[in-house]
Chains A and B, each alone.
Chain A
Amino acid sequence: MRSSAILFSLAAKSLLNRRLTAGLTVLSVAVSVALLIGVDRVRTEARTSFTNTISGADLIVGARSGPINLLLYSVFRIGDATNNIGWDSYQEIRARGEVAWTIPISLGDSHRGFRVMGTDDGYFEHYRFARGRALAFSDGDVFVHVNDTVLGADVAESLGYAVGDAIIVSHGIGDVSFEDHDELPFKVTGILARTGTPVDRTVHVTLAGIEAIHSAWATTPRARESVVAAEAVEEELKPDAITACIVGLESRLMLFGLQRFINEYTAEPLMAIVPGVTLQQLWELLGAAEAALLVVSILVVAAGLVGMLTTLLTSLAERRREMAVLRSMGAGARLVFGLLLAEAVLLAAVAALSGVVVVHLAMLAARPLVLAEFGFYLHAGLPGGFDLIVVAAVTGAAGLLASVPAWRAFRLSLADGLTVRT
């Protein structure tokens, strides 16, 4: 007998005939599956993305606060620093024998919603992301003058800037007016290639540039010349402090030694963190919340499946006649059982697969928003192992749950025979 073929063909046609209720069931299960996969996907994407944001940096140094806080504001541009590193302390760290290079980071200003970061050439030379990739320019070159700026790919794209444009940087974070800073115009000298990290959303200027924004220098005639090399005014626009710095070592073996030196630094309270270690600690911290979220999404899937069970059970009453007709043609009560099971499995499989499709489309759509709000890049990759596991689990669970109405239908059809008894 081709009983399984006829089973699924009957089940599919029966479902199509009830496309409204079946469709709603599929929708609710699909949404719940999309939620579950979405939660997991965002979780893993956030991890990969955060891990890919910084690479090759041995230590991050900032004012003493929480390690996670320091990591978030210095690298991911999430939150704000509560305190700074004195310029002299930075110079002392920089001069140490173990230190191969440093990247200063000075935050606190913004340009039309994008963060402005003061730094120096070391940034373009030493900053690495995504397992060792260096920053590249899609257009133009490194800043040279006090009021030169290098834009991240997203900044240039969403604000429509090109090399040679003049922009105005304002103090403070947020999409506010430009009036705060006496309108020192910055000239775009370079645009970075896309990295998929917060770098894309950063406006880079020289440390002197940051000072210039905050000092009366902007009103001096020299500032209007637009050609003052940052080095020429190094003393004049020497910063008092920077927000944080990234440190690369001559040898990684010095790592914990230098970390200890910085943590015990007496001139001011500093803190050095190992980015990888702190990221792991962040995951550990988030682990419980993630687990809770995952449990909630699993419960939502369960609720969706129970909804399907309810629909199947309610449909039974009106389908007893159908079962009797099938029985009269020689269909065993087992086929009736199988028919309901097949319907549930088909529903769940279609729902789960649509959920997978929906979530990947949704992630594609949400990508710019997530990047803007949370600073990480959602890779709408191909469905992976977890997706398959979820589809299989949901389909399996549906089959298991549907054995309840299927068993009921089996009993009813045995009792009914050819005539429906009410």
Chain B
Amino acid sequence: MTYRTAVGALALIVGHGAVAAETHGTHEHGHAVLKLVQEGAEVVVHFQSPLDSIVGFEHEPENDEQRTALDEAMRTVQVAENIVRLPAVCTLDGEPEVNVPYLGDNDGDDHDKADEHSDTAHAEHESTEDGHDHDTDEHADVHADLEAAFKYRCEDGIEWLEATALATFGGLEEVELQAVGSDATVVETLTPASPRAALTGF
């Protein structure tokens, strides 16, 4: 509950289950999705990544090391700069909305749900440790995604965006950017080598 701020837009965007079903679209390890939407001066950015690419596992923590990793991830994704960087005309507006699966205290409402699924998630994960593209298998559909959403106010056009998550998390190979503004749409695959996208028309 701590991070559920009153910002309506963010509250809706971030899911609160531990397990992201295949309804979310692709869940491909190493591949995160960064969505940006602009309405006037308001900008919302949503980051969603397989948990595995952030902490190296995708199941209920089994030891202190993994629990520490989840705590660490929680601290990291709350800082917008670790995920995304926008031009100086944009300033953060309000608290971020974050969901780290299997982390008991980040969302009381859905904690039970997370527990409920955790055994399945765990069992499934044992066989797919190799980190291959999971969504090719219809039945291996229990995955955990980490999510974070940030709200900005941008006093002028957003000229660019940089997916700093690519540098923050070594496990990320690609970030698919989907940016929707009033006059333009930018879809681009960002990589550690070129983490920046030009947002012309935003």
Contact = CB atoms under 8 A, between A and B. Distances in A.
Whether chain A touches chain B in the assembled complex (some CB pair under 8 Å): yes
Nearest to A64: B23
Given A263-B24, A264-B15, A253 B42 contact: yes
21 contacts: A252-B37, A252-B39, A252-B180, A253-B9, A253-B37, A253-B39, A255-B180, A256-B46, A257-B11, A257-B12, A260-B13, A260-B15, A263-B23, A269-B23, A274-B180, A276-B185, A277-B187, A279-B185, A280-B186, A281-B187, A284-B187
Contacts, number: 58
B114 to A, nearest CB: 16
Contacts of B38: 252
A257 B9 contact: yes
B12 A260 contact: yes
Q: Is the interface of A mostly helix, strand, loop or mixed?
A: helix
A269 B39 CA distance: 29
Interface string B115-155: 00000000000000000000000000000000000000000
Contact of A258 (B12, B21, B42): B12
A256 B37 contact: yes
Contacts of A284: 187
Interface size on B, as a range, is 20 to 34
Contacts of B78: none
A280 B182 CA distance: 16
Interface in B39-54: 39, 42, 44, 46
Contact of B21 (A251, A261, A264): A264
Contacts of A279: 185
Nearest to B37: A255
Interface of B: 9, 11-13, 15, 21, 23-25, 35, 37-39, 42, 44, 46, 178, 180, 182-187
A254 interface: yes
A263 B185 CA distance: 21
A284 B42 CA distance: 28
Contacts of B21: 264
B23 A254 contact: no
A274 B37 CA distance: 11
Contacts of B187: 276-277, 280-281, 284
A367 to B, nearest CB: 27
A252 B46 CA distance: 14
Contact of A274 (B42, B44, B178): B178
Given A264-B21, A276-B180, A254 B9 contact: yes
B202 to A, nearest CB: 12
Contacts of B183: 131
Going nearest first, the 3 A-B pairs with the smallest beta carbon separation are: A257-B12, A276-B185, A280-B187
Contact of A277 (B9, B12, B39, B180): B180
